[in-house]
Chains A and B, each alone.
Chain A
Amino acid sequence: MDQFITTYGFLIIMMMLQAVLALSLYLPLMAGQLSLATPGFFAIGGYVAAVLSTQKFLPAPGTTFPEPLQSFVTWLATVFPLTPTGQGFPIGLVLVEMVIGGLLCGLVAILIGLPALRLRGIYLALATIAFVEVLRVVSLNLPITGGAIGIFGIPQPFPTDATKFSYIVIALPFLLLCMAYVYRLERSRVGRAFIALREDELAATAMGINPTYHKVLAFAMGAVMAGMAGAMTAHVLNTWNARQGTFDASILILAYVIIGGSRTFLGPVVGALLLTALPEVLRQVAGIDGLPDFLAAFLRDGRLVIYGFLIAFGVLSFPQGLLTPELLKRKKKASAPLPPTGGG
């Protein structure tokens, strides 16, 4: 088990964070909006955490924070014990950064969403790609984001854990909370309004659903999740720069949702877990003894080719994604033959 965690601890944390990003792209898609802005918000969240933890939350050696921040930090440290070893950056402050990053992203999303969500389909996708690119160039040139070098030496809550697996105490509850959030949302009044807009915007508005409000709301919800994921990732990676949150990431996250299934919240989560694990799985397969050399080399080095092939194959064979609401419903009926009416 220890061996397993040493090898895959970091991967498992990354899988969970990617799953949150997939959910963040799924939220606007739930309201029928194809937004690729998730990596942009992810980057903003990461910079918020990087700047706060390296410049604001750590007092210069030998000093304390100005009050009332010092009392707050002390209080946080008692609520969230620092680390197993009793040293390192307080987990509580990581959570505070996640909240601040998330809220900032939500705010940015509302400001951007109001004009951008007037665009439809592919045009919205293009506008959100532009947003991601603008952010990247801006962060390359601002002093506060450290320019091309970025920000490094981000304080670690678990300084002794080289595998980063300790982050699971934040990542797992975070992912579960996000999943629970979207699960409940799909079964609530607001979520139904999102889905109605996705199914037929014209009919939905004729049924009294305000399209602008709900589209911006869905977009902002996704931004909050991406920002929070970014804030946490900055700590996991220990460094943050303009290579985080690029157009490549937009496409990758979109692939999670398309492969996993875009009509139920489980689809993006499963898609993200599978596709993030895939390169490692391929590397393992390549390591099997007795494999011809050319095949092993292909599996090792050609994994991006295989990746692309799998995505094309997935889209062709499962145009709705691996998981669809119908599939899940059938499963439920088969395992629990209860009457379909059972309050939410």
Chain B
Amino acid sequence: MPETILEVTGITRRFGGLIAVNDVSFAVQRDEIFGLIGPNGAGKTTLFNLITGLTHPSSGKLFLMGQDVTHQRPHQIAAKGIARTFQNIRLFGNLTALENVMVAQHVHTSSGVFSGIIGTPKARREERHVREQALHLLDMVNLADRAETVARNFPYGDQRRLEIARALALQPQVLLLDEPGAGMNPNEKAGLSGFIREVKEKFALTVVLIEHNVPMVMGLCDRIAVLNFGQLIALGNPAQVQADPAVIEAYLGDEG
């Protein structure tokens, strides 16, 4: 019996009269790659924001490893093991690649104000460890040679990979990727699937991803949830989803 790591039950979010996410329930199993697809405005990113606590649900619940985290604040949810990237990249633009990844190790370090300022041996050791860890992560996304480059000066694809490295620095259980392939050229996209698999194996992650590129989602994901107008219209493995008439009508049919 696979272990449920992330579960949403009857989650709903209204923005005034608009119901962005409407009574959605699903469970993500440990170790799977879970895809979230749907036409534009279907509520995918809102769902990500709900899972990471950036928006609070109007009703419904969110469980992480069996624990109710519905009303926790974003930094608490992050500390419990959910890391994410953003659809419109949100790096710390004026900081270097290295600093971006160092910041994200915040919850796994403990130096306080004064130990950090005085530079106690423990704080120094921690600082060194954080730096090494960050360089290691940058190395993994092939950015180690540009560790001192300011984040906003990176080309688009590199910014996406840097954002993933930053998310990994959080040592998450679950990694949420919001359109990791957006804006990438076909070449970069081809490499992306392999990269996501590699990262997942290496860090023993569960991955939830939003992606518009249907062939990529079909090839990469173990299971897929399809949203349309805020509602969950299908959930299953790629073959099941592809064959579902509701999906074809709402989404794949439009794409031809």
Among A4-12, A119-127, A188-196, the stretch in contact with B: A188-196
* Inter-chain contact B116/A191, CB cutoff 8 Å: yes
Q: Is the CB of B170 within 8 A of A207?
A: yes
In the complex, A237 has a CB within 8 A of chain B: no
Question: 1/0 contact trace for B65-79 toward A, CB 8 Å?
Answer: 000000001110011
Q: Are B103 and A207 closer than 8 Å at their CB atoms?
A: yes
Check A206 for interface membership: any CB of B closer than 8 A: yes
Q: In the complex, are the beta carbons of B117 and A185 less than 8 A apart?
A: yes
Flag if B94 contacts A263 (CB, 8 Å). yes
Q: Which residues of chain B have C-beta atoms less than 8 A from A192's C-beta?
A: 99, 102-103, 106
Chain B, interface residues (CB within 8 Å), range = 35 or more
Question: Which B residues are CB-close (under 8 A) to A184?
Answer: 116-119
- Assess whether B78 is in contact with A208, with CB atoms less than 8 Å apart: yes
| A46→B94 CA distance, assembly (Å) | 37
Please tell me which stretch of B17-25, B34-42, B123-131 contacts chain A, meaning at least 4 of its Cβ atoms lie within 8 angstroms of it.
B123-131
Binds A, one of B83-91, B184-192, B200-208: B83-91
Q: For the complex, what is the distance from the CA of A228 to the CA of B76, rounded to whole Å?
A: 35
Q: Mark B3-46, 1 if CB is under 8 A from A, else 0.
A: 00000000000000000000000000000000000000000000
- By the criterion CB–CB under 8 Å, are B103 and A340 in contact? no
Query: Is A181 part of the binding interface, using a Cβ–Cβ cutoff of 8 Å?
Result: yes
Contact A340 B116 (CB under 8 A): no
Q: Which A-chain residue is minimally distant from B166 (CB atoms)?
A: A207
Q: Tell me if B148 is interfacial: C-beta within 8 Å of chain A.
A: yes
B residues 105-154 touching A (CB-CB < 8 Å):
106-107, 109, 111-113, 116-119, 123-124, 126-128, 130-131, 135, 147-148, 150
* A207 vs B127: C-alpha distance when bound (angstroms): 18
Q: CB distance B79 to A208 under 8 Å?
A: yes
Interface assignment of B95: CB less than 8 Å from any CB of chain A: yes
Instruction: Identify which of B94, B106, B135, B170 contacts A189 (C-beta below 8 A).
Output: B106
Say yes or no: B104 contacts A208, CB within 8 Å.
Answer: yes
Classify chain A's interface size.
20 to 34
Distance of A196 Cα from B103 Cα, bound (Å): 7
Which of A185, A199, A203, A263 touches B113 (beta carbons < 8 Å)?
A185
Q: Which of B90, B103, B124, B127 has the most CB of A within 10 A?
A: B103
A62 interface contact, C-beta 8 A: no
Q: Which residue of B lies closest to A182 (CB)?
A: B117
| Contact between chains at A193 and B103 (CB < 8 Å) | yes
Does B112 contact A344, Cβ atoms closer than 8 Å?
no
Q: Once the chains bind, are B75 and A211 in contact (CB under 8 Å)? A: yes
Q: Which residues from B are CB-within-8-Å of A326?
A: 150
Q: In whole angstroms, how far apart are the Cα atoms of A202 and B85 in the complex?
A: 11
Q: Are B131 and A207 in contact (CB under 8 A)?
A: no
A-B contact pairs, 8 of them (CB 8 A): A188-B116, A190-B116, A195-B95, A196-B103, A207-B103, A207-B170, A208-B78, A208-B79
